Structure 1
Amino acid sequence: MEHIPLSVLATLLVALFFCSAFFSGSETALMALNRYRMRHLAQAGHGGAGRAQRLLDKPDRLIGLILLGNNFVNIIITQLATYIGFRLYGDAGIAIATGLLTLALLVFAEVAPKTLAALHSEKVAYPAAYVYTPLLAVAYPLVWTVNLLANAVLRLLGVRAQPQAQHALSSEELRVAVNEAGALIPARHQRMLVNLLDLEKATVEDIMVPRNEIIGIDLEDDWDDITQQLIHSQYTRLPVFEGNVDNILGFIHLRRVLPLVHRNELTPEHLRQALRDPYFIPEGTNLNRQLLNFQREKRRIGLVVDEYGDIQGLATLEDLLEEVVGEFTSDPGAITPEILPQADGSYLVDATIHLRELNRLLGAHFPLDGPRTLNGLLLEYLEIIPEANISVLMDGYPMEIVQVKNNAIRTVRISPRLPTQQSAQD
């Protein structure tokens, strides 16, 4: 080597630095790849993604290959740099080469390439996969031998080098992935996806129409009144009962009886024959399960019952879907909003509103593990049935009870949330 010009040795040293940087950076890039995006690209026919996926299916082989290459190159760099230093400055050049080499390897072969690879993993990893695929085939016997020895050492330490099954994302991890999608997913679609994940956290009690607000047909009413109710009903399906909803007979689809009403041929017998058996839903059923139950039973409406079989309310498929996509039906309740903004910035709120909806509309954080409605929350907090004009502070929101009727709070005025410090002092 004494006859090899220093310029040639320096050129070789620079080339080896590039090789070391390639091994270091590509390792980081391959491990930093988004596996789900990689699979999508591979299925779409992306060559680099397909090769990277196959390499990552056996990570021990890939890591073994990279470390073999990287260590081999770094050893040659050390030897070559030491020789160049010796030829230039003698014994002192060895010490100089060692110091400069440590800094150069750290900066140019480790930190810089790994940082670049972490920031642009796909741009580095997919081209690197084209290099590693044939290189692994050529060096496979050596890689296999190294991995065998490494696994033997691990077994002596009581560690089994078995491939771990890839775990599916949990709902919370999916929520983070959706929220971090940014411009890749429109904001409205992000909200829908998050709401879909939230179906596991809500039950039919959160969306049901309370028992006292159920609109149905009472067969003990005057027949002319029943006919008018059928004609003017704003709902497609109605529960039919005798006396009260506890004596439920079934559900009627107006499409089956309106032609008879139009021909003035509808009778109580015809109405009873057109009924579909009632469908009952346990009150603790989460919305995700109930959505599947509606699909399996081919139902769109059901009565929510407690553990004693008493009817607590009514839940519909439309109400459940609105938890995902937001309001989309022509619900007559939308004509009189549950929250009315006032000129002073406060809101007049129907106290029967569900706390989930109130939290969503106001951005509040009222607890959901107790009462379901604002009325229930206030009654639990006060522990009495209050009179009008009483004010309370809940979660930083000043609330004034405006109307109390039939042992329940009907209307509440909610003012804007107080600053955190002031709320804490109050």
Structure 2
Amino acid sequence: MSDDTPHSSRGSAPKSWLDRIAGMFNAEPQDVSELENVISEAANNLLIDEDTKGMLHGVLDVSKMRARDIMIPRSQMATLDIEQSITDILPILLENNHSRYPVVNEDKDHIEGILLVKDLLKFAFLPDAPQCHLRDIMRPAVIIPESKRVDALLKEFRQKRYHMAMVVDEYGGVSGLVTIEDILEQIVGEIEDEHDDAEDADIKKMASNIFQVSALTPLDEFNTHFGSHFNEEEADTIGGIVLHAFGHMPERGETIELDGLLFKVSKANSRRLLQLQVINGKAPVVSEPD
């Protein structure tokens, strides 16, 4: 009997832990909302950590998203003209540090292909490299509609081994692009590489009065750059100020005017703002550059 008693006490802890899990899933979730509650309860019961909770919620968010929800807008696309030589495109490559670029003919509605920067390596030591043309080395572009489900797109990215797709609207015009990294960031959060510079990435000038701004830009830095007077005791970042002003989690494309600046949500998910377009001088939103 004495041997049985300690054995039972030792077994009670794992049994209790298993009971907690079983209790959570005993009533099978009937919809996504209930499943999200199960995940939140698991985090509250310390069965999973906050990072895991965030990723699980991110997976559920992705299942509800369309390409239009996460794409990089056409105004922020760095493109190459098909008539440019390798020498001509080098400044663009150095400035943007992307691994892939859409190749266009005249404007962004005419996508001819995709340039992978690594494909230029074989021309690096050729004496006639500057005379090589993009049309000879670019790869086919993948075109998808704005309504494409993001989870289905991720599956295609993996199966067909491409990392970028051009997004078109119902009229066939290019509205943006999406990469596999854009999808993964919805699940695991912002992904930075060795080319990302926090200072340069916070505020990027797109045109004379149009700026791409990270929602995480420190408020004091934002005020200094734009000469604005947002209260630095109300929030640490410009995203916090904008979110408070909206009074709800805004969707991509929503706008609001604050302190003489027009803010347009460029990138967001159900949990946080990611990127803002800031228009100085109250210029109309429709005047985005190609």
Is the shorter-chain TM-score for this pair beyond 0.5, marking a shared fold? yes
Give the gaps of 5 or more residues in structure 1. Answer: 1-28, 40-165, 380-385, 393-400, 411-426
Distance in 2 of aligned mates of 1:36 and 1:299: 42
Q: Which residue of 1 aligns with 2:201?
A: 336
1:172 to 21, 26, 33: 33
For residues 4-403 of structure 1, the aligned pairs below 5 Å read 35=22, 170-182=31-43, 183-221=46-84, 224-230=87-93, 233-266=96-129, 269=132, 271-330=134-193, 332=196, 334=198, 335-337=200-202, 338-339=214-215, 340-343=217-220, 344-345=231-232, 346=235, 349=238, 365-368=248-251, 372-373=252-253, 376-378=254-256, 389=260, 403=280
Give the gaps of 5 or more residues in structure 2. Answer: 1-15, 203-213, 221-230, 264-277
What is the count of residue pairs matched by the alignment? 227
CA gap of 1:391–1:287, structure 2 versus 1, over 3 A, is closer
Q: CA RMSD in A?
A: 3.9
**Contact 1:231–1:258 under 8 Å retained in 2:** no
Structure 1 residue 318 displacement after superposition: 0.4
Helix, strand or coil at the partner of 1:180 = helix
Distance in 1 of aligned mates of 2:236 and 2:120: 42
**Contact 2:165–2:179 under 8 Å retained in 1:** yes
CA gap of 1:238–1:268, structure 2 versus 1, over 3 A, is farther
CA gap of 1:264–1:325, structure 2 versus 1, over 3 A, is farther
**Contact 2:80–2:101 under 8 Å retained in 1:** yes
Structure 1 residue 205 displacement after superposition: 1.6
Q: Deviations over 1:367-389 (max 9, x none)?
A: 43xxx23xx4338xxxxxx9x73
**Contact 1:205–1:283 under 8 Å retained in 2:** yes
CA gap of 1:267–1:169, structure 2 versus 1, over 3 A, is farther
Aligned-partner residue type, residue 179 of structure 1: S
* Bigger proportion of residues as helix: 1
Structure 1 residue 307 displacement after superposition: 0.9
Q: Which residue of 1 aligns with 2:266?
A: none
Distance in 2 of aligned mates of 1:199 and 1:208: 13
Helix, strand or coil at the partner of 1:278 = coil
Distance in 1 of aligned mates of 2:25 and 2:283: 61
Distance in 2 of aligned mates of 1:201 and 1:254: 33
Structure 1 residue 336 displacement after superposition: 2.8
Distance in 2 of aligned mates of 1:274 and 1:320: 27
Distance in 1 of aligned mates of 2:121 and 2:143: 26
Identity of aligned residues (%): 26
Distance in 2 of aligned mates of 1:210 and 1:391: 17
Helix, strand or coil at the partner of 2:129 = coil
Higher relative contact order (CA 8 A, sep 6+): 2
Helix, strand or coil at the partner of 1:277 = coil
Aligned-partner residue type, residue 213 of structure 1: Q
Distance in 2 of aligned mates of 1:391 and 1:170: 38
Q: Deviations over 1:77-123 (max 9, x none)?
A: xxxxxxxxxxxxxxxxxxxxxxxxxxxxxxxxxxxxxxxxxxxxxxx
Distance in 1 of aligned mates of 2:75 and 2:35: 38
* Bigger proportion of residues as strand: 2
**Contact 1:257–1:266 under 8 Å retained in 2:** no
Helix, strand or coil at the partner of 1:245 = strand
**Contact 1:219–1:226 under 8 Å retained in 2:** no
Structure 1 residue 192 displacement after superposition: 0.8
